[in-house]
Structure 1
């Protein structure tokens, strides 16, 4: 059901109040056509010398509800494309000449990928496998020589020598994201999904979320790939995510890392997460004090940094979201519709996060499953965050939005009208124009839920807890161990709006310290470490 989320309003002075928010740029979206490039979504890409390499993904729109009709192999993208955005032309080659393991993986959807120098690494992905005679998540790591492959495709030469591949269940992940910090790769979130999709939960598939950040190194120096596991961090509450945006970051202390933006699904509800999680070399930090409302699924995104103010800006383009604006009213739609919103989340020097809506929107209900290909001719950090202060021009292209799903309605899936969606063939050039920003802040994005435990460390099965909630709604809890196991879960009842005191009785005597997480209204999370006195 759609409801007007009345507690979220815009700031008004007279009729409207617009905020510069230390981002003195407007965003301009210009459509261009690339000859020979079809509509695609949920693909992998690399780039070299201004040209793009596009691999995998799907040629159709949103997947159907019926298991027999979802993710048909006939709409897998079995062609590799090279795109020259300057001349707006493309070259292509079929995957058919490649070994079975490589060609099957590289026509899959929602692969995890990262380009390291000239090498594009691709992990996992989901699609029909002829050799397995089933839809599977591929357990593959593939390394691709990007400039070598692009040259071969442009000159109609054999391509098989530009690929290496190994298999391991460690890589059987789809819908996550792959990044790199220093010399270590980070496979963040995602799930293993084998079998036919089924929205009713009938046993046509098996699904396991990784709930992990898998850290590893890759040795690509020999003829055969190899890898070494560095660490596997498990968090079944905050890392239970897939189909999200992993946005590269420059943190206030200058450290480079990533932010997990939103994603699905919450551990106890088929709803998106709203708060982000920061990923650094030292570990991951859920930012539960802030909720991001305007972008909840994977879409095009880009990170921009202003050194003078030590401010990080993350831009999101369209996609699917649990919230969107109708005029000046923020609408909550738990069906998570397609949206046109262009939004920004800014991290200030003090670490505070604020979300803003740009006044202009995407041309259509599109952007879900799209990729933002950054303009690497601009000054940028090693993780591809663009250095705004080093750009002298007042108007410049920061990158291109490629592909994604287009829809003619907000909720085609729930209406069983997925045939009205399609893969978008239009490429959008994205420009920043230096002028006063008219972006609108989303108010009340701060988490109103908090709790304290005293004393901490605890002794025995009783916890004295104080917590505060803004209104009466569902309040659940999870108890997890430090190594990522769920010990207990339940619901808290008989509380009032405002401040509450209660004696929380643990389900068992705890011998090890643990994490207590409260989830309020399926929207706000709060977690604390609870130490157990020996």
Structure 2
């Protein structure tokens, strides 16, 4: 089912006036001999080289439990990449302990680099120890300069990798970042057993639904950690496989924003909202919805100190929406997309989403990573300082890996050969321009977050929307020629999210309608094509 959405009539002038990103993006490509494809991995860098750990060698996972996440797709090597010399080196994991081999060949580990150490947590894969697929209960620290040097020179690296075990670490599909020297594990889930989209008792799954805080340190070749507690919210943090980006908050302090993710508790679709996380708590951003990039993809955070604005860039991936000829298209199959988007976070705490005037070169970006150019001025929380840019063309860094698909929707026909793990490296440049060429997605700042679900079989129309104020909501549906087909007032609705179903006779496939919600002075119009 696809819906073509018209822009909301509510345009917040302050957001429009605040457009101030005088840059275009350029995405190049380079290939390195014998560098294979990889997705859902961890990565760190030292001395101009990258260390790539874990991940999958194949593309989008299959739907059948017997065929998905098999051992043939495990990455059982440590990979060193030099993007300048275009060289790669590899070393097998066989010199390491069994627990290290199992975790470091898993997929969707949470990871973060601090100083010379790459910390990796959890991950999902096959454990020969328990003879099943599990989420691994380990935290591993890798001394990057030593391990990279050992792999390049073909010497032993095992003494430079440390590991500890705790069931608190058994999370996959979350994000691990740093706030004020503490490590924040945000979202994710524990998934044990064989993946099966139909359920059927082949796995157990428990969402973290929160933020788990730690301190990590390495002293005298010992990996130490301390659990600082959890912040739990089933309503707002029940999500995984998403993007969490470091921020400079409006008060000048370090923080995070969790963007989108899956799945909503009532329906298997992505969240559209964003959650700001500071040192002690979190806040859902009012009046904002993210449409263009919902699953984890390559991202980078930029901070303009002069304007006190964050500019968060998202590269492709998977999303419920994409842009087509100025219309926003809702596709509940949640396809691969090519969209490159920017989410601005200003000094007043407002978020707004913009479409950049460049697309990814293919349906790719999902489960890829952005490796930041180390020559840039990078703040302690991994945010790039824009005020230190030199010149009109800036190499931001590189996108590596991820899933590349030949088409937007392949999940329901996936036999394992339709997609692949990308082997390409994409240098990303920021180019100074005389104006802001990105386009505001006005739906992102309307606050209503209207979603439509026509059901021609049952002759009904379901609507999801959010109210900032209590009151009545007028729903009107017209044909293309303006004929009123339905008019209904939903009375005395409370503040918050609502799901309503309205009987709609003769709702036929291929029909085109305009759906308008009137909420006080606010009017939201969407164009709906029944599919």
Q: Which residue of 2 aligns with 1:443?
A: 442
Candidates 67, 70, 73, aligned match of 1:72: 70
| 1:384 has 2:382 as partner | yes
Candidates 191, 201, 204, aligned match of 1:203: 201
| 1:180 has 2:172 as partner | no
Q: Which residue of 2 aligns with 1:267?
A: 265
Q: Write the deviation string for residues 66-109 of structure 1: whole angstroms up to 9, x where unpaired.
A: 00000011111111111111101111101111100001000000
Indicate conservation of the 8 Å contact 2:209/2:233, yes or no.
yes
| 1:100 has 2:98 as partner | yes
Q: Distance in 2 between the 1:470 and 1:24 partners?
A: 40
Q: Distance in 2 between the 1:22 and 1:498 partners?
A: 40
| 1:349 has 2:328 as partner | no
Q: Which residue of 2 aligns with 1:5?
A: 5
Q: Which residue of 2 aligns with 1:25?
A: 23
Q: Distance in 1 between the 2:489 and 2:200 partners?
A: 39
Aligned in 2, Cα 1:159/1:332: closer, same or farther, shift over 3 Å? same
Aligned in 2, Cα 1:204/1:379: closer, same or farther, shift over 3 Å? same
Q: Write the deviation string for residues 427-447 of structure 1: whole angstroms up to 9, x where unpaired.
A: 000000000231111112221
Spell out the pairing of 1:145-164 with structure 2 (5 A cutoff): 145-164=143-162
Q: Distance in 2 between the 1:132 and 1:186 partners?
A: 29
Indicate conservation of the 8 Å contact 2:447/2:468, yes or no.
no
Aligned in 2, Cα 1:166/1:333: closer, same or farther, shift over 3 Å? same
* Shift of residue 397, structure 1, vs aligned partner: 0.4
Q: Write the deviation string for residues 110-158 of structure 1: whole angstroms up to 9, x where unpaired.
A: 0000111111110000011111110100000011111110010011001
Q: Distance in 2 between the 1:26 and 1:175 partners?
A: 31
Spell out the pairing of 1:229-248 with structure 2 (5 A cutoff): 229-248=227-246
Aligned in 2, Cα 1:167/1:352: closer, same or farther, shift over 3 Å? same
Q: Write the deviation string for residues 472-491 of structure 1: whole angstroms up to 9, x where unpaired.
A: 99xxxxxxxxxxxxxxxxxx
Spell out the pairing of 1:289-300 with structure 2 (5 A cutoff): 289-300=287-298
Candidates 309, 312, 337, aligned match of 2:310: 312
TM-score, normalized by length of structure 2?
A: 0.85
* Shift of residue 287, structure 1, vs aligned partner: 1.2
Aligned residues: 469
Candidates 428, 436, 458, aligned match of 1:430: 428
TM-score, normalized by length of structure 1?
A: 0.84
Indicate conservation of the 8 Å contact 2:246/2:301, yes or no.
yes
* Shift of residue 317, structure 1, vs aligned partner: 0.4
Q: Which residue of 2 aligns with 1:518?
A: 497
Aligned in 2, Cα 1:232/1:416: closer, same or farther, shift over 3 Å? same
Q: Which residue of 1 aligns with 2:517?
A: none
Q: Which residue of 2 aligns with 1:339?
A: 337
Aligned in 2, Cα 1:165/1:469: closer, same or farther, shift over 3 Å? farther
Indicate conservation of the 8 Å contact 1:20/1:437, yes or no.
no
Indicate conservation of the 8 Å contact 2:473/2:493, yes or no.
no
Aligned in 2, Cα 1:245/1:521: closer, same or farther, shift over 3 Å? farther
* Shift of residue 189, structure 1, vs aligned partner: 0.5
**3-state secondary structure, aligned to 1:199:** coil
* Shift of residue 451, structure 1, vs aligned partner: 5.0
Q: Which residue of 2 aligns with 1:370?
A: 368
Candidates 492, 497, 511, aligned match of 1:500: 492
Aligned in 2, Cα 1:424/1:381: closer, same or farther, shift over 3 Å? same
Q: Which moved more, 1:295-304 or 1:219-228?
A: 219-228
Indicate conservation of the 8 Å contact 2:24/2:357, yes or no.
no
Spell out the pairing of 1:211-230 with structure 2 (5 A cutoff): 211-230=209-228
Aligned in 2, Cα 1:471/1:192: closer, same or farther, shift over 3 Å? farther
* Shift of residue 207, structure 1, vs aligned partner: 0.4
Spell out the pairing of 1:104-115 with structure 2 (5 A cutoff): 104-115=102-113
Indicate conservation of the 8 Å contact 1:177/1:188, yes or no.
yes
Candidates 165, 168, 171, aligned match of 1:167: 165
- CA-based RMSD of the aligned residues comes to 2.2
* Shift of residue 10, structure 1, vs aligned partner: 12
Candidates 254, 257, 264, aligned match of 1:256: 254
